[in-house]
Amino acid sequence: MKINIYYGGRGLIGDPTLYVVKKIMQVLEELNVHVERYDLYDQKNNITTLPQSLKEADGVILATTVEWHGVGGYMMSFLDACWLFGDKEKIRKIYMAPVVMSTTYGEKEAELDLTSAWESLGGITCKGLCGYIGDIAELECNEAYQKLIEKSTENIYRSINQKSPTLPVSTQAVTQKVYKTRDNLLTQQETEQLSEYVSDDSYVEKQKEDIKELTSIFKEILGSETKSSAGNMLDDFRKHFKAQAETHLKFRLNVKKKEKPIAIRVENAALDISYGEMVYPDVELTLEEEVLGEIIEGRKTFQGGFMEGSIISKGEFRNLRMLDTLFPFMEDAEKK
C-alpha cells in the first residue's frame, strides 16, 4: 500500500504540523506502508504536475498549518491543480485524511475546507487529525498527544487498507455534473502533457522564442504588403498625371507614420515621383495616410483637405491648387 503526504505549510522551525507529519510517517512505515512526502513549498514551481503523483497512491494525507487564516496558498494551489489537471477517475478511488494544526485559530474550519475540497474532486474522505498547538513543546513532551497521533494514524491506515465504505455526499454528485463538459474537452493524456508544459521553464522559453520568430515573419509580410501598397500609390500618381506647360514645381508630401516622404518633381511634361528627401520644395504637405487615400480615390482634393484642416501646407496657395490640376483624382473618378 502507498500513501502520499502533501505538506502545505512553509516548513518553518517549530511548525507543529511538521512534527505530526514525521510522527505519522514513522507509524506508517512500521505498518509496512510505502510513504512518500511532498513539501509543496519546495514544489511550488512544479505544483501543476503534482496531480500525476496521485496515480499510484491508495490514499493521501493533506497536511497543513493554519498560521492566520485558512489552509494556506500552497495547499490551495495543489488542490487547484488537482481540479484542473488531476485524473478524476483515479481520485474517486483515493481516500484522503486531513491533518491540520493551528497556531492561531481556525483548525476546524480548515479541516472542513480540505474535506469539502476533496469531496468536490470526487474523492473519499476519512477521519484525520486536527488541533490547536500554541507551542510545539506541548507535542514533544506530552505522551498522551503522541499516543493520540499514533492512534489516529492507525485509524487512517485501517480506513485506507480496508477501503471502509462511506455514504455518497452531495458534492460528489454536483462535481460529476459540473465537470462532465470539461472532461470532454481534453483527454487525460492531453491534460498531463499540458500540466508538464506549464511547469517546464525551457518549454515556455522555447514558446516565447517561437512567438518572437513568428512576429518577425509577420512583420516582414506586413512590411512587404506595405511596400506593395506604397508602390501602388506612386503608380496612381503616375496614372493620373496631367502635364501642364511651363510648370516647374517640386512637392513634398509628408505622410504620417511613413518612414520617408513622397517627393514629386514636375518639369513640364516630365514627372519624377519617388520616396525620398527633397530639399527646398515649392509646397510641403503633411497629412494622414487615410486622407491621402481619400484623395487618390477621388473623394477629396488637396485643396479641400487643406481647407477642412486635415492637411497642413507650407508654400504658396496657388501652387497647392496646381497639385489638383496636375493630379485630378476627383475629376477622373467622376468621369468613370
Per-residue pLDDT reduced to its tens digit, 93-108: 999 999 999 998 999 9
Dist. CA 297–CA 162, nearest whole Å = 84
Q: Would you call 115 helix, strand, or coil by DSSP?
A: helix
Q: How confident is the model at residue 305 (pLDDT cuts 50, 70, 90)?
A: very high
Question: Grid coordinates representing 33?
Answer: 506502508
Average pLDDT of the segment spanning 110-133: 94
Dist. CA 290–CA 62, nearest whole Å = 63
pLDDT tens readout for residues 16-59: 999 999 999 999 999 999 999 999 999 988 899 999 999 999 99
Which distant-in-sequence residues (6+ apart) come within 8 Å of 48 by Cβ? 81, 84, 85, 195, 198, 199
Share of the chain above pLDDT 70, in %: 85
Dist. CA 19–CA 8, nearest whole Å = 13
Q: Tell me the β-bridge partners of 7.
A: 39, 63
Q: How confident is the model at residue 226 (pLDDT cuts 50, 70, 90)?
A: very low
Question: Grid coordinates representing 58?
Answer: 491508495
Q: How confident is the model at residue 177 (pLDDT cuts 50, 70, 90)?
A: low
pTM, whole model, 2 decimals?
Answer: 0.55
Q: Do residues 271 and 241 make contact, with C-beta atoms less than 8 angstroms apart?
A: yes
User: Which residue ranges form the domains of the chain, and what is each CATH number?
Assistant: 2-185 (3.40.50.360), 231-335 (3.30.1050.10)
Residue 289, pLDDT above cutoff 60: yes
pLDDT of 317: 85
Closest CA to 128 of 143, 142, 118: 118
Q: Tell me the β-bridge partners of 251.
A: 264, 283
Residue 181, pLDDT above cutoff 60: no
Average pLDDT of the segment spanning 285-299: 93
